[in-house]
Amino acid sequence: MDDRRGLTVPAARIEVRRLDPAPDLAVLAAASTADLVWLDSALPDGAPATARPRARWSVLAWTDGPFASRFHHQDRRAHRTVAAPAAAWFGPTGSDDRPAFAALADLLARTPHLPGAVAGCGFALGWVGFLGYELGRESGGPDRTADGHADADLRFVDRAVVVDHAGGAWALALVADAEPAASARNRAWLESVPTSTASADPGEVPPGLPDGVATARVSRAAYQDAVDACRAEIREGNAFQVCLTTAFAVGREARAGSGADAHLLEYLRMRAADPVPFGAWLRLGPLRVASRSPERFLRIDAAGTVLAEPIKGTRPRLVDPAADAAERDELATSAKDRAENVMIVDLLRNDLLRTALPGSVHVERLCDVETYASVHQMVSTIGAVLPERTSRADVVRAAFPPGSMTGAPKISAMAIADRLEGAPRGVYSGAIGYFSASGAVDLSVVIRTLVTVLDDAGSVRSRTLGAGGAVTWSSVAADEADEVETKTRSVLGSVGAVVSW
């Protein structure tokens, strides 16, 4: 026991059950009606060895356990919904007007420390969910809030299954001696997790959306005009690079078989077509988030070592092998794409310097090209080391939003993009992942992500896919619009939608 803010805090630990054979997490997700977070890692055949560590672990976390609690930030207020057995850790249910990252730092400080339960896996239960782009207002970004949903939604989860794609799977459950009834429920759940060789089959679901069309928020001509407006700002010295985005409205209903979760089945089609290291599917209240992101935002291990892996530079895969290889080589030697990537590397070095040990920030690799199922991408890696007891929330806040989605300098670039886009981005351009009770953090950049918002009756209010690209002085407006189309089709093509722009 320890004493925290006058509360007697019960000790907690993780109990583990090895699952053999390893279950298909898609089958487990489909069997649940609870809110859940699925961090879904995979790689296509032939992916580079450098990408494999990023795609080793997948996590499926349920939000209906006896200790499960919620933190969300909406309308500039921090809201906590705390399960009774967890009140000694997190305090009572309530809300206040604190900034999101300050409230999150407090919750992380109150979270019981749980050492890693599975060797090599950073996730040891804890907080999972998303941080939306509009939280950037807390670090100098535009003063907006998301439309129709929270700016951040994180759940403290006490039940999860983790899968090691190098071999092995485990169920994790939280127990606390001071809460015998809650602990007994979690032990019973631990024994109930099925092991099976059955796999989900998205091929049984008719492909496509009702109208088969994804319609852009602005016309292609208007987007190209905005690219030229960014170039004018760059010419005036107001930025070096601006990440300019738009959004595509997708058909309002996904197709599914009787009794199935249509949005989950749609995600399964997306993942079958495009394996990526940072896929995710979230069912959180009114949100359904289907993400096919290849990009890590930040990883912090329990000892305080940090990695950022920004992507800047994208080319489509081509059917003809020779033409595809030429496309990859063109990206690798593109002066424009290398310049974009290096600018964001410098930005992230500066972001990490705010919380890292002096002298520890370094570039591990610069402008490598990695190949995925639908695109070639240019990736760099920046590392750093944190001082002891550094709040993980402070580290994320100092680097938020992800620099690859803002441009440089960050504050000026965000202001320019916001003026030209004229709308909040919401989940898109933010981060998805976990703040583990071990002190580890792993967050992806929310790109190539279909976001569905439901109304109070459960009907679809909106379904959108955000897409964009980095604008520099050397950008050509038509080429930037082509890149947006490439990224949009890489996601929507798997569900049969045609891009209308």
- The residues carrying an active-site annotation are 295, 312
Is residue 61 within 8 Å of 75, Cβ to Cβ?
A: no
Q: Which residues are bridge partners to 396 per DSSP?
A: none
Query: What is the C-alpha to C-alpha distance for residues 398 and 350, in angstroms, rounded to an integer?
Result: 9
| Nearest residue to 436 (alpha-carbon basis) of 282, 278, 299, 309 | 299
AA identity, residue 23: P
DSSP state letter for 252: S
Structure token pair of residue 422? 């004229």
| Nearest residue to 112 (alpha-carbon basis) of 162, 181, 153, 158 | 158
DSSP state letter for 357: P
Supply angle C-alpha 162, 167, 171, rounded to 5: 25
Query: What is the C-alpha to C-alpha distance for residues 154 and 61, in angstroms, rounded to an integer?
Result: 12
Query: What is the C-alpha to C-alpha distance for residues 26 and 20, in angstroms, rounded to an integer?
Result: 16
Q: How far is CA 168 from CA 165, 205, 223, 332, in A?
A: 7, 29, 47, 36
DSSP 302-348: TT-EEEEE-EEEEEE--SSHHHHHHHHHHHHH-HHHHHHHHHHHHHH
Sign of CA dihedral 244, 307, 379, 466: negative
DSSP 199-214: ---GGGSPPS-SS-EE
> Which residues have a Cβ under 8 Å from the Cβ of 152 and sit 6 or more positions away?
71, 72, 73, 100, 104, 129, 130, 131, 132, 135
